[in-house]
Amino acid sequence: MAFWRSEKKSDKESSQPTSSADDGGSGGLLSRMRGGLQKTRRVLNTDIRDLFKSEGSLVDDALLEQLFARLVRTDMGGGPAAKIRDEIAKQYRGRVVQLDEILQTIADQTRQMLEQEHTDIQTADQPPTVILVVGVNGSGKTTSIGKLANHFHQSGKKVVLGAGDTFRAAAVEQLVIWSQRIGCDIVTGKPQADPASVAYQTVQQAIETNADIAIIDTAGRLQTQSNLMQELQKIRTVIGKKLEAAPHEVLLVLDATAGQNAISQAKGFSEAAGCTGIVLAKLDGSAKGGVVLPIREQFGLPVKFVGLGEGIDDLVKFDPAAFAEGLFS
């Protein structure tokens, strides 16, 4: 078991612009969310725009049906798309309406469907707060951990990372590089070490060094691999033995480009790993950003952060209003 204490880089090197996760409601957040949702918005707006003539269009059954089909294409799912269609029908049926009015109503409906409580990371009454990060292979776990750790570090918190993906040496190296960039501590195990033992050591290290936050990486796994899902349960149990009430968060990282597939992942993981929140990574690379709606609708799990790129600052707190506006404005 190795414990590395990274030297903090010089102020010049480490003076990354702080994470925008605190931009809540500001123009900065909205413009970043708009940027991240560009691909989804392009598909959606082109699709919906096509339905409306410049002088406006009559809202009748044919238009409502077309609208429904086009909303479904963003992977928002039949339930949310039907809800939006029904609201448009309720407000506008039989009237000639301009595109802007419809878009505003769709955005309002979307925001309402996405509204959620507990968007902040749940912190422990007494530090450290322990966050376990899980998800399928390549969904964006390690990168999201790097960005999240940077966010906490920038806001003055002492962070310890745990390289719980002991499956591949490269996975450990990837997290070590993040810790060096950020200037935070990291606990690593020997190759092929039991990930639960790395998790245990990480929590122990966080306690001993009076850290505020421990964030533990895990190897990617499929929600259908029962042995690997049991391994996650073991990691959770071991963490809980070291520190009561931990882990305080189990974040499921979903790849937004997976669209509807992300939903079956969310189901499997939330049942087996007891997830408490979602990080939706790679929203910038996806035309299927609408997938947030069925995730919220079906799992009741809060979406806490979204990934908007590969950079250290490309993680923002999920904000339903900014999301809805970014998608439809």
Ligand X SMILES: Nc1nc2c(ncn2[C@@H]2O[C@H](COP(=O)(O)OP(=O)(O)OP(=O)(O)O)[C@@H](O)[C@H]2O)c(=O)[nH]1
Q: By the criterion CB under 6 A, which residues form the site for ligand X?
A: 135, 137-143, 165, 171, 220, 253, 281-282, 284-285, 307-310, 314
Query: 312 or 327: whose CB is closer to Mg ion?
Result: 312
How near is the Cβ of 28 to Mg ion at its closest, in Å? 28
Query: 231 or 314: whose CB is closer to ligand X?
Result: 314
How many CA atoms lie less than 13 Å away from 130 in the CB half-sphere? 25
How near is the Cβ of 98 to ligand X at its closest, in Å? 35
Q: Which does 285 bind (CB under 5 to 8 A by kind): Mg ion, ligand X, none?
A: ligand X
219 is in an annotated binding site: yes
218 is in an annotated binding site: yes
Query: 107 or 253: whose CB is closer to ligand X?
Result: 253
User: What angle do the packed helices 261-273 and 292-299 form, to 10 degrees?
Assistant: 30
259 is in an annotated binding site: no
Alpha helix (H) residue ranges in the chain: 11-14, 27-36, 38-49, 61-72, 78-92, 99-114, 141-154, 169-182, 195-208, 226-242, 261-273, 292-299, 320-328
197 is in an annotated binding site: no
d(CA 60, CA 290): 24
Pairing of strands 57-58, 96-97: antiparallel
276 is in an annotated binding site: no
257: phi then psi, degrees, rounded to nearest 5: -75, -10
Residues that bind Mg ion (CB under 5 A): 141-142, 171
Three-class SS state of 177: helix
Query: 297 or 310: whose CB is closer to ligand X?
Result: 310
Q: Which does 135 bind (CB under 5 to 8 A by kind): Mg ion, ligand X, none?
A: ligand X
135 is in an annotated binding site: yes
Query: 107 or 171: whose CB is closer to ligand X?
Result: 171
Q: Which does 246 bind (CB under 5 to 8 A by kind): Mg ion, ligand X, none?
A: none
d(CA 33, CA 153): 23
Q: What share of the chain is helix, strand, coil (3-state, %, to 5)?
A: 50, 15, 35
Q: Tell me the binding residues.
A: 135-142, 217-221
Q: Tell me the binding residues for GTP.
A: 135-142, 217-221
